[in-house]
Amino acid sequence: MANLGKTAPFIMFDGNSFRDLNKNGRLDTYEDVRRSIDDRVDNLVSQMNVEEKAGLMFITMILINEDGSPVERPTPANPFSFMVSTNSNMIAGRLMNHFNILQSFSPSIIASWHNQVQEMAERTRLGIPITIASDPRHSFTKNPAAMVAAGNFSQWCDPLGLAAIRDPDFVVTFSDIARQEYLAIGIRLALHPMADLATEPRWARINGTFGEDAGLSAVLTEAYITGFQGDELGKNSVACMTKHFSGAGPQKDGWDAHFEYGAEQIYPGNNFNYHIIPFTAAIDAKTAQMMPYYGIPVGITGEDVGFAFNKEIITNMLRNRYGFDGVVCSDWSIISDKKMMGKVVLPSTGWGVPGLTAKEKMIKALDAGIDQFGGENIPELLVELVNDGKISEQRLDVSVRRLLRDKFRLGLFDNPYVDADSAKNIVGQSEFVKLGHLSQRRSIVLLKNLIIDNDNFLPLSGRPKIYIENINNIVANNYCQVVSTPEAADYAILRLAAPWQPPSNDANMLESFFHQGDLDFKGEEKERLLKVAETVPTIIDIYLDRPAVIPQITQRCAGLLANFGASDEAVLDIIFGQFLPEGKLPFELPSSMIAVENQLEDVPYDSENPLFPYGFGLTYEDN
C-alpha cells in the first residue's frame, strides 16, 4: 500500500507544503490559493523538459487487469486494447499522466489499481500524479464508446431521465453522489456532462443529453457541474469536462460524427446560437474543462473544418468571447488512425482536414486552441514538432499550465492516493442505490391511459394474468400471474426499445454501438406488436434513447409508458400504482418519419403535428 499523503519535493513553496500553508493561516482567500497554485505551476513548469510537457498533453484509455494489477502485456479480450499500450509504457515511457478507464470491476480492485499506477507515476523524474477520467458510469446505457456499465455503482436513469424529472436539486443530488463514488476509486475527471441539444431526433447520442430545450438543458447542466465540482474546484471535487462545444446535436440527417458520413453539422434554421446556451451555463458554473466534437459546423466560420481544428470556434468564440480559460481537450482520435495487425480498424476522426499528416493536424489543433489530445498516446510526435521548430515550447507551456493547474486544484499533488479498503463501503451504498431507484421511477412518462367506462385503464390492481415480453419472470410474479400467451392473459405488458437500423456488414467496430437511422418499427416486428395489442389489452413500455415514431402502436395499445433507463421493478411499480407517474417528455415524439425528415436539424420541437409534444406527460389524476 502506498504511503498515503507523501508529498514530492518539487511542490514545496517557500519551504512549506501547500497543506502547511493553509494550516499556518497564510492562505486566507481564494485569490491567495489561486496565486499559490499559479506559483507552484510556474515552479514546476520551469523544471519540466519537452518530453514531460508533451506527455501531459495526451489522454487516452488505460486498461486494468481483473486482479487489479497494472496491464503490462496486451489483453486481446478487451475490444480497445489495440488502441493503448501497457500501463508502464504510457506512464514511465511516454510520461503520460491523464487516462480514461473503461472497465467496470469491483471498487476495491479499481482503487487498488489506481494506487499502483500513482506509485508508478511517483517514480518518474518529477512524480507528476495521474488524473483518472471516466465516461458516465451510472446509467443503463451500454455503449462502450460513450458510457460505461454501472456495475457496482448506483444505477440511475439516463440524463434524459433527469430532464424528464425536471428537478435541478435532484440533479445536484445525483452528481454529488456520483462524485463521492468516483472519488472513492480515484476518478477525478468526469468526461461529462453532455450539454448538447437533441434537436435532431435521429442522432445516436441523444440519451446522453438533457433533451432538446436549451433553457432546461442550461439549468440542469449547471446543477450537474455544481454537484461534481462544488462552487470551486478543490480536493473533494471531480472536475467536469463539458461537451461538446459549441453543440453537437444538429448532425446532418442525424448521422453521428464518429463516422465520416456524419461529419457535417448543419444549421438550416440559422439556430447556431441556440445550441451555445447550455455551454454558457457550464461556464457560469465554472466547468473545469471543455471538449469540442468531431463535426464540421458547415458555413458557420470562414473555414469548414472539424471543431477541434477551428480557431474561430475554440479561440475566438470559446476563449475570447465567452472568457473560458480552462482546459480544452479534443474528442478521441482526431490525429491518428488506429490499427490492428497493420490494418486500419478505426480511421482518424479529424474531419475537414483530409490532406494533413498527423503532425500537421497537431499543429492546426494547437493553433486553434486545443490543450490536450484525446484518445491518442503519441507524445513523441509533439516532441519532434518542438525539436524541429514547428511548435514552440512556449506554446506547450500555455496548455501545460492549464492542465497542471487542475491537478493542483484537485489536490493530486498533495495526496493522489485513495483508501482501497473503504471504497467498497462508498460505491453502491444502500442510500445511493435507493436514490438511483427513485430516479428511475420519477423519470417514467405516462403517455397514454385509455379510459374505459369513465375510468382510467391504469393503474392495474389485484393479481391479473399477464403475458410479458422482456421482463424478468421472477420480478413479474411479484405483481401478477405470468402466462405464456396473449390469448391466456387478461393483459399484456411489452417492454420495447426505440428502433434503430443495424450497420452494414462492412461497418467499423464502433458503428454497432450507435443507434442510428430510422425511428419507426417496420415489417414483421411492427405487425407482431400490433397483433398482440389486438388480442389483449396491452401496455407498452418503451425505452427512449431517441424519439421513437410509434403512431400505430400508440393507437392500438391501452397504456403507453416511456422510460429513460428503468428496471423492471420501476416500470411495474408505475403500472400497478405503487408509484405515481410524474415525468415529462424531454423531447417531442414525431408522428411519422416524413415529419422527421422534414424537420430542421438545429431547431427544437419543430416536427409537424407531433404525436406527443415536448413536455407532455400524464398523471393518474388526468382523464
Please give the grid coordinates belonging to residue 514.
450507435
From the CA atom positions of the chain, what is the Rg in Å?
Answer: 25
Torsion of CA 358, 362, 367, 371, to 10 degrees: 160
Question: Which of 538, 560, 551 is CA-nearest to residue 594?
Answer: 551
- Find out whether 287 and 278 touch, Cβ atoms under 8 Å: no
- Catalytic (active site) residue 506: no
Which of 135, 158, 256, 331 is the catalytic position? Answer: 331
At 88, give phi and psi (nearest 5°).
-70, -35
Q: Is 149 helix (H, G, I), strand (E, B) or coil?
A: coil
CA distance 616 to 562: 11
Helix/strand/coil for 455: strand
Omega within 30 of 0 (cis) for the link into 278: no
Phi-psi region of 25 (alpha: psi -120 to 50; beta: other; left: phi over 0): left
Q: How far apart are CA 534 and CA 512, in angstroms?
A: 33
CA distance 224 to 169: 9
Residue 549, phi then psi, degrees to nearest 5: -105, 105
Largest distance between two CA atoms of the chain: 82
How far apart CA 547 and CA 351 sit, in angstroms, is 28
SS (HEC) of 522-540: CHHHHHHHHHHHHHCCEEE
In whole angstroms, give the CA distance from residue 265 to residue 267.
7
Q: Which amino acids are annotated catalytic?
A: 331
